[in-house]
């Protein structure tokens, strides 16, 4: 399965590139990622969160990088969900902003993990990546993922609809935090 998505961020390309190149930042806006840990200059260990089913992990390596312009990576070894991705950073015509073009490719396995992934992407697989990039834009332009009373759970917000009512959170709900 190949997913593409794009957004425009009102920050210069080197800044957007640098944020993405620090792969440990990816889980702040990508809903399916629990953690990405750098294990070397070009290698990293990724773990997916609940949407992909539990305990889905893989190693990855950066296979191509052009500072300020492009990063490409792929999973290595015997990954549960072999995958690859690339992101290009292109100066926008306004002279201020950066167009971010992302391609993700997953080899969906059979079995439990495959089912969980199929359910996660649902009928509109692009929507998930679109929402990921919307959050990336929020983080880079405003500093964090925007929360509302109806959708207070940060990057997990899309999982529920109808949402909780648009009224303030109770203390116990508040204690769950943005990633509850």
Q: Where on the chain is the footprint of other proteins (CB under 8 A)? A: 8, 10, 94, 96-97, 127, 130-131, 134, 137-138, 141-152, 157-158, 161-163, 165-171, 174, 178
97's CB contacts (< 8 A; 6+ apart) are 8, 9, 10, 11, 91
Q: Which is nearer to other proteins, 41 or 171 (CB)?
A: 171
User: Shortest approach of other proteins to residue 132 CB, angstroms?
Assistant: 11
Q: Which is nearer to other proteins, 37 or 147 (CB)?
A: 147
Which position has the token pair 């070894």?
77
Helix (H, G, I), strand (E, B) or coil at 27: helix
User: Shortest approach of other proteins to residue 90 CB, angstroms?
Assistant: 15
132's CB contacts (< 8 A; 6+ apart) are 5, 29, 30, 31, 155
Q: Which is nearer to other proteins, 110 or 165 (CB)?
A: 165
Which position has the token pair 């809903």?
31
Q: Which is nearer to other proteins, 71 or 157 (CB)?
A: 157
Q: Which is nearer to other proteins, 23 or 140 (CB)?
A: 140
User: Shortest approach of other proteins to residue 127 CB, angstroms?
Assistant: 6
Other C-beta atoms lying within 10 Å of the C-beta of residue 90 = 15
User: Shortest approach of other proteins to residue 172 CB, angstroms?
Assistant: 10
8 Å CB contact between 101 and 132:
no
User: Shortest approach of other proteins to residue 92 CB, angstroms?
Assistant: 9
Of the candidates 64, 84, 88, the one whose C-alpha atom is nearest the C-alpha of residue 74 is 84
């Amino acid at each position: 399965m190949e997913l593409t998505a794009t957004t425009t961020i009102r920050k210069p390309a080197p800044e957007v590139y640098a944020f993405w190149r620090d792969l440990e930042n990816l889980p702040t806006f990508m809903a399916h990622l629990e953690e990405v840990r750098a294990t070397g200059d070009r290698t990293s260990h990724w773990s997916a969160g609940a949407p992909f089913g539990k305990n889905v992990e893989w190693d990855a390596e950066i296979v191509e990088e052009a500072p300020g312009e492009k990063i490409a990576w792929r999973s290595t070894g015997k990954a549960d969900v072999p995958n690859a991705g690339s992101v290009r950073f292109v100066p926008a015509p306004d002279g201020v902003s950066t167009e971010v073009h992302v391609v993700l490719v997953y080899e969906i396995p059979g079995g439990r993990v495959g089912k969980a992934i199929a359910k996660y992407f649902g009928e509109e697989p692009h929507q998930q990546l679109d929402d990921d990039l919307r959050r990336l834009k929020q983080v880079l332009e405003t500093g964090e993922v925007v929360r509302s009373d109806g959708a207070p759970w940060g990057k997990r917000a899309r999982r529920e609809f109808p949402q909780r009512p648009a009224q303030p959170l109770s203390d116990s709900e508040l204690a769950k935090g943005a990633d509850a």
